[in-house]
Chain A
Amino acid sequence: MLTYAARRVLYSIPVILVASFLLFAAVRATFDPTARLAQSRDPQVQQRERERLGLTDPILVQYGDWLKGAVHGDLGQSSASREDVSAMISRSMGNTLQLIVIGALVSAVIAIGIGVYSAVRQYSALDYVFTGLSYIGVAMPPFWFGLLAIEFFVVQHRWLLSVGLHTGDSTSFDLDYVKHLVLPVATLCVQIIASWSRYERASMLDALSADYVRTARAKGVPRRKVILKHALRNALIPFVTVVALDFGALFGGLIITENIFAIGGMGRLFYNAILVGDVYVVQAWMIIVAVFIIMFNLLADLIYGVLDPRIRLS
Chain B
Amino acid sequence: MRTEGNIGGVEPSPLGSPVGAEPMSTLSIAEPEPVPRSQWQLFRRRFLRHRLAVAGGLVLILLIVVCFGAKYFAFYDKNQQNLLLGPTSPSKEHWMGTDEIGRDTMTEILYAGQISLKIGLAVALVSTVVGTVIGAMAGYFGRFMDQLLMRFTDLFLVVPAIAVLAIAIKFFHDTPFDQTTVIIFVLAGLGWMYIARVVRGQVLSLKEKEFVEAARASGASSARIIFRHILPNCIGPILVNATLSIAAAIVTESTLSFLGFGVQPPATSWGNMLSAAEGNYNQNTHLLYFPGIMILLTVLCVNFFGDGLRDGFDPQAKH
Contact = CB atoms under 8 A, between A and B. Distances in A.
Contacts of B162: 252, 255-256
Residue of A144, A271, A282, A289 contacting most chain B CB atoms (<10 Å): A144
A249 interface: yes
B300 A151 contact: no
Interface string B149-186: 00000110111111100111011000000000000000
B261 interface: yes
Contacts of B282: 155
Interface string A210-246: 0000000000000000000000000000000000010
Interface stretch (A18-26, A88-96, A111-119): A18-26
Interface in B286-310: 288-289, 292, 295-296, 299-300, 303-304
Interface stretch (A27-35, A52-60, A73-81): A27-35
A274 to B, nearest CB: 5
A141 interface: yes
A251 B160 contact: yes
Identify the interface centre among A138, A248, A290, A293: most chain B CB within 10 Å of its CB.
A248
B117 interface: no
Contacts of B261: 274
B167 A289 contact: no
B283 to A, nearest CB: 10
A139 B307 CA distance: 13
Contacts of B154: 15
B300 A274 contact: no
A248 B254 contact: no
Nearest to B152: A22
Nearest to A143: B258
A155 B160 contact: no
Contacts of B304: 135
Contact of B300 (A26, A135, A150, A155): A135
Given A136-B300, A255-B162, A255-B163, A141 B295 contact: yes
Interface string A81-110: 000000000000000000000000000000
A140 interface: yes
B15 to A, nearest CB: 12
Interface size class of A (residues with CB under 8 A): 35 or more
Contacts of B155: 18-19, 22
Interface residues of B, number: 38
B142 to A, nearest CB: 22
B307 to A, nearest CB: 9
Among A22, A136, A255, A260, find the residue whose CB has the most chain B CB atoms closer than 10 A.
A255
Interface string B270-289: 01001001100110010011
Which of B154, B158, B171, B299: most chain A CB closer than 10 A? B158
Contact of B171 (A30, A151, A260): A30
Contact of A289 (B160, B288, B299): B160
A280 interface: no
A139 B170 contact: no
A135 B299 CA distance: 10
A290 B292 contact: no
Given A147-B274, A293-B160, 15 more contacts: A19-B155, A138-B299, A139-B299, A139-B303, A140-B296, A141-B271, A144-B292, A147-B278, A148-B292, A154-B281, A248-B161, A251-B163, A274-B166, A274-B261, A286-B167
The 5 closest A-B pairs by CB, nearest first: A252-B160, A139-B299, A252-B162, A144-B292, A155-B281
Interface of B: 154-155, 157-163, 166-168, 170-171, 247, 251, 254-255, 258-261, 271, 274, 277-278, 281-282, 285, 288-289, 292, 295-296, 299-300, 303-304
18 contacts: A15-B154, A19-B155, A29-B171, A139-B295, A140-B292, A140-B295, A144-B254, A147-B277, A148-B289, A248-B159, A251-B163, A252-B160, A255-B259, A256-B255, A256-B258, A274-B166, A275-B260, A293-B160
